[in-house]
Structure 1
Amino acid sequence: MNMVHAQTAKPTAWPEVKKEMRPYTRWWWMGNAVDDKNTGRLLETYSKAGFGGVEVTPIYGAIGYESRYLQFLSPRWMSALNFTVSKAKSLGMAVDMNTGTGWPFGGPQIKSANAAAKLIIQNYKLSTGQTLPDKITVTDAKQSKAGAPLQALTAYSDKGEVINLLDKLSPDGMLNWKPASGNWDIYAAFSGKTLQQVKRAAPGGEGNVMDHLSKQAVDVYLKHFDEGFGGKSPGIGSYFNDSYEVYGANWSPGFFEEFKRLRGYDLRLHLRELNSNDNIDAVARVKTDYRETMSQMLLDNFTLNWTKWAHKYNSLSRNQSHGSPGNILDLYAAVDIPECETFGSSKFDIPGLRRDSADVRNVDPDPMMMKFASSAAHVNGKPYTTSETFTWLAEHFKGSLSQCKPELEQVFLAGVNHVFFHGTTYSPEDIQFPGWLFYASTNFVPDNSWWPHLNGLNTYITRCQSVLQAGKSDNELMMYWPIYDAWSNPEGIDMPFAIHGIDKWLHPTNFYKSAMELQKAGYAFDFVSDGMLEQSSVVNGQISTAANAQTRKVLVVPQCHYMPLATLDKIIQLAKDGATIIIQQLPQDVPGLNDLDARRTKLKSTLATLNFTDAGNGVKQSGIGKGQILLSEDIQKALQLKNITGEALTGTGLKFIRREIPGGKYYYLVNHTAKVIDTNIPLNFKAAAVLIMDPQSGSYGKAIANTANNKTMVRVQMQPGEALILKASAAPMQTAAWKYIGQAGAPLALGNGWNLHFTKGGPELPADEKLNQLGSWTESSDPKTQSFSGSAEYTTTFDIPANKAADYILNLGKVCESAHVYINGADAGIFWSIPFSARVGQYLKPGKNTIKVEVANLMANRIRYMDQNGIQWRKYHEINFVNINYQPFDACKWKVMPSGLIGPVTLTPVN
């Protein structure tokens, strides 16, 4: 628990709480086996735990409960949804909904004609006078059965001739053509099918995955919902689409026509380049054009189309664009709420934070990847960026609330301001422990032994999000994403920008390197696409991207080889209008194939108009109109030339994100280092007063701060694992002072004798014990403790001297895994994360005092017991249940997890 630094919170210090400030959770409806009684009970349970909403996602079901299943979008299912929305509304909660079951979008309404498609190219060879002996038809039996029509037939000679042979094909598929001379390669392009079915589908949602590139397919898909809704809005807050996992879908039957319309030439005549992986210019250019076309089709026919459909029902669209074979910045920007995700766990230097190598996936979430979603929101003035949070945070049943905290904070620092837990499984009351569970979630379910302490995490999130949703983002730089450099990769055909592929398309790039260096130096920035730049303008020397978005001081263009003429022209126009542009290296070429020579000539002539002079320190400058373009390999030197500095507070190891509010700024600070930070930190803001706000305890007070040279120095004290919020105000504030921790006295060790009483859990409650010293309860002589998961109370008494100190810090030491503390009968708070300490002086009295520590452990030990004893608890259709490496789950060989209050528990007097 974060250390409580000041007096009890006042309601006026924090923004008024709205449901969107609370975390939401993905609510897996397993087999759609839902009923009003259980729905009402569960929503009340979730509300009490601090959730502000649920996202209904129907999924595969448990075996043996088929009689309870409801067919997706059937009248009975709609009745269940309507009750859910009504009940949630009565509790002040929201209901979001996946526009489908499982993922990706598809179902029984998607017949073969509208199913996800893939390009199949077959190659034939002919020499002088030869004819093909066989019909030109797709050779794959499954594709033949699906009906893969031939869409192009192109011949290439060894002399460079290219001929369209489609009109030389007889109705029976025979080629009525033979070359007069030379050697020829013939490429036949068929519109095939991926044959992918909806993954993890719920009853009534099974079927083909739809063709996301086809407006006809998307319209057919959404019409099924219109029919289910019966023309009435169900009252859904936002409709959700998961990450793009339409495997192998690199085509659509109308692709050739769209390509010619958008790119200006016939792709049918370039099948050889499209089918090649050779590292040659023509291949790279055709594939760039192909990928850009696919991106535009996905944007127009799916993303914008689906969003318009959601608006028809007075709802919003919420989309995970990552994984899409398109410009994910533009795809994120096209929806109302961009959503990123965390997958796996990160390594932090926080002492005592458990991260067992056997229990984590071999993947580290990268906050820079998350910034694609938040950038789209910030640049376009959208109020929310959401995240699917905690997917595979740890092995099943081993994830703790303390492990959630730094992973969550990393998401906030990346610009997310509304988290969705992954997740909570709908489990009826009659289902025994551990209830129904989803195979990839951190289990935020009432059966989880630490559920009674979840409100600690949720309250922390709510306070953080109340600040992170306030005002506007405050990132002074925009950074151009050179997508055409990525698209020009000659390997493969389509290019999905997936989180599991960032080692290929993101990490090796100069764009990523520059972003990491700027972030380390304390600069705050968002990424922009070519399309986002096109909509930008200049207002009073700053770049404006949307009416309700913040303006930016500088556009940074990292090193890129390819740049469209329209983008270069726009950059120059922004400079003419008064903007400052920093370019690492002038673009070398234009992307794409059509009209190439003319566009290259125009690029050279445009660049020639930029007359650069030496500005010193390795920076060149070109004054254009009211603004200027700075050319520098070192971006930071160019920024310094404009007197734009990063937040020097990052030199302490602190991480931050800022929000701009009327008359001031919020700084969200996190200490993910291994060291205590007790120092004066500088803020790039001239403040008359600074309020320190503790998002864990809710306490606040006026900081020790002074201002000089338009910067403010603020004293902060932060333990490893702690977070604070600074509210820097241009106006004075009449608030009580923040009480810093001064000199500490000798710690008092609590508990010469503890009483241990097991209160709730199973499979059986162990017997009460008297403890001379603290340790894992699994080391007790009672064998029941080895298999027990649940809660236990530790109680003891201690004496406080008559000359009571100004305050006392209670530190629980090591806790496995979370605790709720009561002192002299008063609630002293939930201790759910490192450093498991708080100021508790207000609860103490001179003389004898009593402390009760309610500790919850993990579910792991009970699951181990169940597997060792052959107790069946998992039996699901589809994937059933897997471990973190997607192998069949088995806890039999697990070691017993330490449990309980390990300590040492100390009470330290402080000034």
Structure 2
Amino acid sequence: MKRPRFCTLVFSALLAFTLVSCQKNTPEADAGVESVSAPPPSVTPTGEGFLSRELFDHPPLQARPMGLWTWMNGYVDHNQITYELEQMKEKGMRGAIIWDIGALIDPDKIIPSGPEFLGPESLVSIHHAMDEAERLGLELGLIAASSWNSGGTWITEKHGSRALLSSETKVQGPSQFSEVLPLPQKATNVVEDIAVYAIPDRGDQTVVSNEEMLDLTDQLGPDGRLNWQVPEGKWRVLRFVWHGTGEHLNCPSPKSSGLVIDHLSREATDTHINHILDALLQGRKDYGPLKLLMLDSYEVRAANDWTPDFIEHFKAHYGYDPKPWLPVLAGVQVGSEEKSARFLHDYHKQVSDLMIEGHYGRASELVNKRGLKILSQAGHGGYARVDPLKALGASDLPMGEFWNHRKNWVTKEAASAAHIYGKTLVNSESFTGWQHWQDGPAGYKRILDVALCAGLNQVNFHTFAHQPKGAGLPGYAYHAGEHFNVNNTWWPVAGPMLEDMSRSCHLLQQGRFVADVAAYYGDNAPNLVPAKRIAPTVKPRWSDDHCLHCGKKLPVDLRSLAFGYDYDFVNEEVILTRMSVQDGKLVLPDGMSYRLLVLPDRKTISLAALQRIAELVEAGATVVGTKPERSNSLKG
């Protein structure tokens, strides 16, 4: 069977459904090249054949929308939990993701305080929701914190977030120096020394050679006192420490404030995820309708991220000691500007790899052992430190986001991750914003169509606020989001809208995405897949050579790609471990294929990626882009 070179989407008004086919121009059509064969019906995601009429009329559960079910301040009403789940079922939703969260904007303290998240009383409510969802045949998820960062009341300083800090002391030589070096101003009581270096003080000149730096680490006592015979000249003494940041969760429910975890630490992730899983299973034989844990966007404060065994991991991966290069993180250029940039590349990539392996990938391993999945918003929607494609690929279910009447769109990123890592579902935090009650089905349809065309195939309303008895009308509302819930004036007629969303998502979950170009965005971290489009109701803040979501320069410029062609972004890991060439096409193990590989718009590249790309070219691949000139790493 030949795969038709078009995409079929279902777009409808509230009560009428219209099937729209959009013919797709392709390089194959232009060149007279035969299209790629589609997989047989038996291997489609549903296993029911391509575009089954039965499933079109009655979309399966995985195609139906969910909602981020905000339990504001942790305060809930069991009868209302039952009612809301029954209404979700009646209107055609898949279920909801429980989100214990604080009321960020509630100046009059209208919303009462509920119990501590995952405490005994909280678990009774969660278990009630699980029982009712199971009775109704719905699915549930749970955000893995009373916040959007991982952490909780059960996290101690041992597993809290860490950062690298430095202090500076100026010394004149020749002299004998014996003083306690000051700790960095932000250092907490959880501090461990890493290194001490002295560099020549030449005023505004910040470049020093490796030979000029003096390693004084062995001369620092356990009390922080440095005993040093100072050579001739002026010196800057830099003391590097890691410390526990003491950063707490953003916006927890009132009794649920706790430390943010060390996201670079496998041990911290084990402690965090296992605590949640063990708590949820108390008094129960299994997790029943609870199918997933959600890791929300990473929004930990900017810092030089650290973990106690960072140096050991770095040495093992890059083959050199990072300590002599730490002054670069304090604003000093070591060796040269280029060498310093290479170290920064290695440092940030190591942070990314530790976070992906120790948090996103590890969390998936832990929940998979219990029969659950991780839904992860690991892209560049928050304050990402990672290679987002690799982080999303390490999670079971990649999740993006798109906002109503806002620029915040990262759906194409999640879609690319799903395609290149062999995943069917592309979830998204949907309709976030500050429109409050201004929009309804017509407005939702307009922006959802854009998100569907960017690759979304599973909707998650942001938000579906729980409405305990006494909430009144329009009821409790999370500060950011379309307030889609049982209190909407049009809720009684919401069913057709949800059916339409379900049908569109079901169709897009079938078959395989057709892309013409694989755009390699490099191996640096953090990185980004730029938004293809943003909400059509807002004017872009930046020119089209920048990401319309975040304003950063495009890692790969695809603006010359003609209308009708499409693409995925790919990363180094996929090129090294999943990409090969067949009949001149770049192919992936799960069936994705591309006519062209486009290189990032920079002159640096990792040696491993360059060697693999050369092999792909030798095998018949077509590669275009800026010619690399040098390595981006200090790795030998």
Counterpart pick for 2:587 among 533, 544, 550: 544
State the 1:512 CA deviation: 4.4
Counterpart pick for 1:26 among 42, 49, 68: 68
State the 1:442 CA deviation: 0.8
Report SS of the residue matched to 1:218: helix
**d(CA) in 1 for partners of 2:331, 2:85:** 54
1:580-621 deviation digits (Å, cap 9, x = unpaired)? 2222221111111233xxxxxxxxxxxxxxxxxxxxxxxxxx
Q: Is the 8 A contact 2:95 2:140 kept in 1?
A: yes
Report SS of the residue matched to 2:239: strand
Aligned to 1:72: 117
For 1:155, give the aligned amino acid. Answer: A
Distance 1:450 1:161, change over 3 A: same
For 1:88, give the aligned amino acid. Answer: A
Counterpart pick for 1:240 among 267, 271, 294: 294
For 1:517, give the aligned amino acid. Answer: S
State the 1:175 CA deviation: 0.7
**d(CA) in 2 for partners of 1:437, 1:234:** 29
**d(CA) in 2 for partners of 1:4, 1:198:** 45
Aligned to 2:536: none
Larger radius of gyration: 1
State the 1:106 CA deviation: 0.9
**d(CA) in 2 for partners of 1:517, 1:402:** 33
State the 1:498 CA deviation: 10
Per the normalisation by structure 2, the TM-score is: 0.81
Aligned to 2:138: 93
State the 1:454 CA deviation: 2.2
Q: Do residues 197 (structure 1) and 248 (structure 2) align?
A: yes
Counterpart pick for 2:557 among 513, 527, 547: 513
State the 1:37 CA deviation: 2.0
**d(CA) in 1 for partners of 2:315, 2:225:** 27
**d(CA) in 1 for partners of 2:365, 2:54:** 39
Aligned to 2:320: 265
1:79-127 deviation digits (Å, cap 9, x = unpaired)? 3323322322332321111111112111112122221122111122323
Aligned to 1:171: 222
Report SS of the residue matched to 2:56: coil
Q: Do residues 482 (structure 1) and 519 (structure 2) align?
A: no
Q: Do residues 339 (structure 1) and 399 (structure 2) align?
A: yes
Structure 1 unaligned runs (5+)? 346-362, 488-493, 596-911
Q: Do residues 436 (structure 1) and 436 (structure 2) align?
A: no
Report SS of the residue matched to 2:142: strand
**d(CA) in 2 for partners of 1:433, 1:558:** 52
Report SS of the residue matched to 2:253: coil
1:638-674 deviation digits (Å, cap 9, x = unpaired)? xxxxxxxxxxxxxxxxxxxxxxxxxxxxxxxxxxxxx
Distance 1:91 1:539, change over 3 A: farther
Counterpart pick for 2:574 among 519, 532, 535: 532
**d(CA) in 2 for partners of 1:170, 1:582:** 56
Structure 2 unaligned runs (5+)? 1-11, 20-51, 201-207, 532-540
Aligned to 1:308: 365
Report SS of the residue matched to 2:464: strand
Alignment of 1:825-836 (within 5 A): none
The number of equivalent residue pairs is 559
Distance 1:430 1:508, change over 3 A: closer
Report SS of the residue matched to 2:243: strand
Q: Is the 8 A contact 1:100 1:106 kept in 2?
A: yes
Report SS of the residue matched to 2:82: helix
Aligned to 1:253: 308
Distance 1:197 1:72, change over 3 A: same
1:37-79 deviation digits (Å, cap 9, x = unpaired)? 2211111112222211201111126847657x23322344333
State the 1:13 CA deviation: 8.4
Report SS of the residue matched to 1:333: helix
**d(CA) in 2 for partners of 1:196, 1:207:** 8
Report SS of the residue matched to 1:29: strand
Q: Is the 8 A contact 2:198 2:213 kept in 1?
A: yes
Aligned to 1:564: 606
**d(CA) in 2 for partners of 1:170, 1:539:** 62
Aligned to 1:587: 628
**d(CA) in 1 for partners of 2:54, 2:468:** 40
Larger relative contact order, structure 1 or 2 (CA cutoff 8 Å, min sep 6): 2
**d(CA) in 2 for partners of 1:283, 1:15:** 59
**d(CA) in 1 for partners of 2:529, 2:214:** 35
**d(CA) in 2 for partners of 1:92, 1:23:** 14
**d(CA) in 1 for partners of 2:18, 2:153:** 59
State the 1:277 CA deviation: 7.1
State the 1:436 CA deviation: 1.5
Q: Is the 8 A contact 2:167 2:182 kept in 1?
A: no
Q: Is the 8 A contact 2:547 2:554 kept in 1?
A: no
**d(CA) in 1 for partners of 2:162, 2:18:** 61
**d(CA) in 2 for partners of 1:120, 1:594:** 24
Moved more, 375-384 or 248-257: 248-257
For 1:447, give the aligned amino acid. Answer: N
State the 1:257 CA deviation: 2.4
**d(CA) in 2 for partners of 1:496, 1:49:** 36
Q: Is the 8 A contact 2:190 2:243 kept in 1?
A: yes
Q: Do residues 208 (structure 1) and 259 (structure 2) align?
A: yes
Aligned to 2:43: none
1:751-793 deviation digits (Å, cap 9, x = unpaired)? xxxxxxxxxxxxxxxxxxxxxxxxxxxxxxxxxxxxxxxxxxx
Aligned to 2:39: none
1:262-311 deviation digits (Å, cap 9, x = unpaired)? 22222211122222276921221111111011011101111111111110
Q: Is the 8 A contact 1:106 1:205 kept in 2?
A: no
Q: Do residues 136 (structure 1) and 136 (structure 2) align?
A: no
Aligned to 1:555: 597
Q: Do residues 46 (structure 1) and 79 (structure 2) align?
A: no
Q: Do residues 319 (structure 1) and 376 (structure 2) align?
A: yes
For 1:299, give the aligned amino acid. Answer: I
Per the normalisation by structure 1, the TM-score is: 0.58
State the 1:476 CA deviation: 2.8
Alignment of 1:306-455 (within 5 A): 306-322=363-379, 323-345=383-405, 363-366=406-409, 369-392=410-433, 394-455=434-495
Counterpart pick for 2:615 among 569, 573, 582: 573
Q: Is the 8 A contact 1:121 1:190 kept in 2?
A: yes
For 1:234, give the aligned amino acid. Answer: Y
Alignment of 1:785-824 (within 5 A): none
State the 1:389 CA deviation: 0.8
**d(CA) in 2 for partners of 1:6, 1:213:** 48
Report SS of the residue matched to 1:383: coil
Q: Is the 8 A contact 1:115 1:210 kept in 2?
A: yes
State the 1:335 CA deviation: 0.6
**d(CA) in 2 for partners of 1:497, 1:545:** 19
**d(CA) in 1 for partners of 2:418, 2:253:** 32
Q: Is the 8 A contact 1:274 1:283 kept in 2?
A: no
Distance 1:286 1:36, change over 3 A: same
Aligned to 1:294: 351
**d(CA) in 2 for partners of 1:154, 1:119:** 15
Q: Is the 8 A contact 2:89 2:138 kept in 1?
A: yes
**d(CA) in 2 for partners of 1:248, 1:212:** 13
Distance 1:277 1:172, change over 3 A: closer
**d(CA) in 1 for partners of 2:351, 2:158:** 19
**d(CA) in 1 for partners of 2:476, 2:604:** 51
Q: Is the 8 A contact 2:281 2:287 kept in 1?
A: no
Q: Is the 8 A contact 1:378 1:549 kept in 2?
A: no
How large is the Cα RMSD of the aligned pairs?
2.9
**d(CA) in 2 for partners of 1:87, 1:115:** 35
For 1:338, give the aligned amino acid. Answer: P
Counterpart pick for 1:81 among 126, 144, 151: 126
Q: Is the 8 A contact 1:559 1:587 kept in 2?
A: no
**d(CA) in 2 for partners of 1:553, 1:200:** 46
State the 1:318 CA deviation: 0.8
Alignment of 1:623-702 (within 5 A): none
For 2:557, give the aligned amino acid. Answer: K
